[in-house]
Amino acid sequence: MQLRHGTDKRPWTFYVLAAFFTLFVSFLYGPMCAIYLLSFQGPNGGLTFPMHGVSLQWFAALFAQHRTGDFAGSFLRSILLAVLVLGITVALSVMAGLAFRRRFVGATLVFYLAIASLIMPGLLVGLGIGLMCQLVGLQPAWYTSALGAQLTWTLPFGLLIMFAVLSRFNRFYEEAARDLGASAWQTFAHVVLPILLPGIIAVALFGFTLSYDEFARTLLTVGPSNTLPLEIWAMTTNITSPALYALGTLTTVVSFVVIAAALTALAVLQHRRAQRRPHAAVTR
Amino acid sequence: MTQSGDIALVNVTKRFGTTVAVENLNLHLPHGSYCCLLGPSGCGKTTILRLIAGHETPTAGDVRIGGASVVGLPPVQRGTAMMFQNYALFPHLTVLDNVAFHLKMRGVGKTERRRRAYDMLTRVQLDPFVARMPAQLSGGQQQRVALARALITNPRVLLLDEPLSALDEFLRLQMRGELRRLQQELGITFIHVTHTQLEAIAVAEIVVVMDQGRIAQAGPDPEIYTLPRNAYVARFMGGHNVLNGTVTAATHGMATLASASGERYAVLLPPQTITVDDAVCCSIRRDRIAVTKAPPGQAARPTEPNAIGGTVHAIEYQGAYVKVTIQRPGHEDIVAHVADSDFFTQHLDIGNRVVARWAAEDVHLLETEHGCKTGRAVVDQPYGWACDMPAM
């Protein structure tokens, strides 16, 4: 690329921002890269550099429950819980978003009550839910009390995203569908849902990752079996081997796989829409 | 369901909260007519369209299509189809599937519905574009898709909400003609909402001029343009000068009016409708006004009736005619459309003193805002217009 002429000189703010961004990226990825590298530490290596050979043995160690804690179980629980949260968040956010388009009595109050749980300290929400379980004599578990606690976090997020998505959705589409003889359900299935789908995938992605990562609200509501973040937390206090790093590498890979899956879904969707061809019978 | 697209709005009122969009409105449109609802934005014309379409429910009154009340019925059962202002084409469906949408909702099989949609698209000359997405089409093409999508429901009434406003001038004129031709070919009722006067009188047989939720005047297009009922219609339709005066004499079918500044206007009229001292409004078409240079040294004000002195304030060349704006101190400007040949023989220029003249036959009396006497025998008729014109 050619250098620009004097009059087109970049403002000093460009260099400030560029420096800040470089710092940010190295701060974010530097330590993580160290962890990824160290997770491949040789059998005789320790928690710090230098590397003593290369091996996959710390990954293997992760799945030996007696040594490092219940990694496989907590991983499975976290994935299942995240899928549950995703499903409920998508269903309720979409319905609530559509409902909020009609002004109903108390709409503003309901909205602020829902959003308030984003501001409340997560630990306190978890503590409250844990206490309530005790009061009514319910045994806390990841699939009951922790699920509820996580939903207090993901639902307001989902609702806010739906608000943004729906603010760009034109009501005329629904009227046109009605005009063309579609029932309320047909309008939703054939017009509203397909048009909103990219936004709904965003809600799903948020629901999944927020749940998969959740710590504060889950801590006091999870019951006897841990989710992955809690298990990792427990491990950091009692494991002193590079298996800890292997754990970090593995969970990062899972996060990337989920994001890649979502992006692929979006790309496939767009590709299918662009490529859709009419029936052979009418193309001569 | 009868096939008649005869439409009657009976005492229809529509309120949104405390805002009155349409007030106690009566309108009858015969089957197979092309009607334009015309008015400035916010006059209630789109609300009327949506009331007929079934996208709004009247607060009071009845909407009848083919003689039967349709209040509460969904659009398809009314036999209406609407073309939305922004076309509202489904962005996730191809052109073909957009047009086939209605048939899909009715459970028509894939091959059959796509064949019928294809036939409809051929009719609007869009068959090469069936596989495109709406976003890949030009504005004019999108409009044709919207038209095909509405027509595939086989409606008896087609409702068009500002159908031409998103097109450029050239396409607008072309589509205007095509809509009219299509309407005659199909023989169904078209109701077309617009805020453009020339579009309305060019395309419609019946023009309904709206003013704040009421019908200001409804009638065949030449009547609306040449015989406006009141000053609002005359001003809104354009092409008219509106003058105010007080009757000073009314005898032998001729009345004389005097303006506040003493100008005199002579008017032909049936004498029983007007008496001395009535305040009246009248209109004179711009193209019926002759402009001549005032002879130098003459008094500023001509003494004969139907002649007004003033100064040329603006000149706009329009091709076939020249628009001359004449300024008069303390009065509304007078606008004259002078034939180009007349204009150029006179060498008129801005700042010239001129006299504008017209014939008494060209003065048209208007109803005044206070409901005072009028030259036309329509004073006691309620707003709305019962049409007995044969369907074309």
Q: DSSP alpha helices (H): ranges in chain B?
A: 45-53, 75-78, 95-105, 110-123, 139-151, 169-186, 197-203, 221-226, 231-237, 340-346
Query: With an 8 Å Cβ cutoff, is B49 touching chain A?
Result: no
Determine the 3-state secondary structure of B123 from DSSP.
helix
Q: What confidence score (pLDDT) does residue B81 get?
A: 93
- Cα-based distances in Å from A279 to A246, B93, B152, B299: 52, 13, 18, 82
A50 preceded by cis ω (within 30°)? yes
Give the nearest partner residue to A273 out of B74, B106, B133, using CB atoms: B133
**Sequential DSSP letters for A3-31:** PPPGGGPPPHHHHHHHHHHHHHHHHHHHH
Interface of B with A in 122-141 (CB under 8 A): 130-131, 133
Q: How many residues does chain A have?
A: 284
Alpha-carbon distance of A135 to A141, in angstroms, equals: 15
| Separation in Å, CA of A190 to nearest CA in chain B | 9
Residues of chain A with pLDDT under 70: 1-7, 64-69, 273-284
What tokens appear for A244 in the block?
Answer: 């800890």
- Which two three-digit tokens encode residue B97? 């599937």
What confidence score (pLDDT) does residue B244 get?
Answer: 84
Which residues on chain A are in Cβ contact (under 8 Å) with B88?
170, 172-173, 175-176
Q: Residue B392 has what pLDDT?
A: 32
Chain B residues with CB-CB distance to A172 below 8 A: 84-86, 88
- Closest B-chain CA to A173: B88
Decide the pairing of beta strands B279-285 and B363-366.
antiparallel
Show pLDDT as tens, one digit a residue, over chain B (392 residues).
Answer: 457 888 999 999 999 888 889 988 999 999 999 999 998 888 888 999 999 999 999 999 999 998 889 998 988 889 999 999 889 999 999 999 999 999 999 999 999 999 999 999 998 888 899 999 999 998 889 999 999 999 999 999 999 999 888 888 888 888 889 999 999 999 999 999 998 888 888 889 999 999 888 898 998 988 888 888 888 888 888 888 888 888 888 777 778 888 877 778 888 776 557 777 778 888 899 989 988 888 776 655 677 788 888 889 999 988 888 999 998 877 788 899 988 888 888 888 888 888 888 888 888 888 775 443 333 323 233 333 333 333 33
pLDDT of res. A18: 95
| Helix ranges (DSSP H) in B59-195 | 75-78, 95-105, 110-123, 139-151, 169-186
Quick check: B116 contacting A, CB < 8 Å? no
Q: What is the pLDDT of residue B272?
A: 57
Contacts of B82 in chain A (CB under 8 A): 175-176, 179
Whole-model pTM? 0.77
| Buried/exposed A207-218: b ≥16 CB within 10 Å, e otherwise | bbbbbbbbebbb
Nearest to A242 by CA among A19, A64, A44: A44
Cβ(B14)–Cβ(B80) under 8 Å?
A: no
CB contact under 8 A, A282 and B115: yes
- Region class of A69: left (phi > 0), else alpha (psi between -120 and 50), else beta: left
Joined together, the tokens standing for residue A272 give 């299918």
With CA atoms as reference, the chain A residue closest to B96 would be A278
Chain-chain contact of A178 with B153 (C-beta, under 8 angstroms)? no
ipTM: 0.79
